[in-house]
Amino acid sequence: MLFIKMINKLFLTFLLMLAFSQTISAGTPGEVETGAYLRAATLQGFDGDTKTFDHYKGKPLLINVWASWCGPCRAEMPSLQRLSKRYNGKEFNIIGISTDDYKKPAEAFIEQTGITFENFLDSKLFLENMLGANTIPLTVFVDENGRVLGKVRGAYEWDDKAAIEAIGEIFDIKLQP
């Protein structure tokens, strides 16, 4: 059993490093590719407040694109919450962007899961297209200046030791797993 767990962790590390090292070609209208800078965009908060990506400059940013109806998104959200409790606002920032068409299901999911990191609603698909979320969940890694460092598709245990090490590597910061 221990051997299988070790193989799974090594495989996860390999997948994350592969995803971080590859440039994903544009696949959605207006997609910002890896290596380019995020464009100005208004982020619509669930409480009615708005922010822009500029609000998060100065620290690396992990953006998770999700939807309340997406099974893999729902599965990975608890690990993102745990990651947030440990690192959000300290070594890097974490935000979520819901692609739900309607606010109520996304709000209900946030409340049900106890998510405390900031989330925004993208019912008009602008952010979804800009970030390249033709599949979800999508996690986008952005440096402190707004440059996209990498994109990872699929659900992961983001607070797993291997994932934390990979996040530290992509952001070029030392994180304690």
pLDDT score for 8: 47
- Given a cut of 60, whether residue 75 has pLDDT beyond it is yes
pLDDT of residue 3: 41
Average pLDDT over residues 11-35: 63
The percentage of residues in the chain with a pLDDT greater than 90, rounded to a whole number, is: 79
Identify whether 176 is part of a domain.
no
Task: Assess whether pLDDT exceeds 50 at residue 59.
Answer: yes
Please indicate, yes or no, if residue 120 is contained in any of the structural domains: yes
Domain of 30?
A: 2-171
- 177 found inside a domain: no
What residues contact residue 108 under an 8 Å CB cut-off, 6+ apart?
A: 68
Least confident of 10-19, 44-53, 108-117: 10-19
List of residues 6+ apart from 1 with CB closer than 8 A: none
**Residue-wise pLDDT tens digits, 78-130:** 999 999 999 999 999 999 999 999 999 999 999 999 999 999 999 889 999 99
Question: Is residue 133 a part of any domain in this protein?
Answer: yes
CATH of the domain at 150: 3.40.30.10
Read off the DSSP letter of residue 44.
Answer: E
| Number of compact structural domains in the chain | 1
- Does 136 reside within a domain? yes
Could you tell me which residue, 10 or 172, shows the higher pLDDT? Answer: 172
* Total Cβ atoms within 10 A of residue 11: 11
More confident residue, 125 or 4: 125
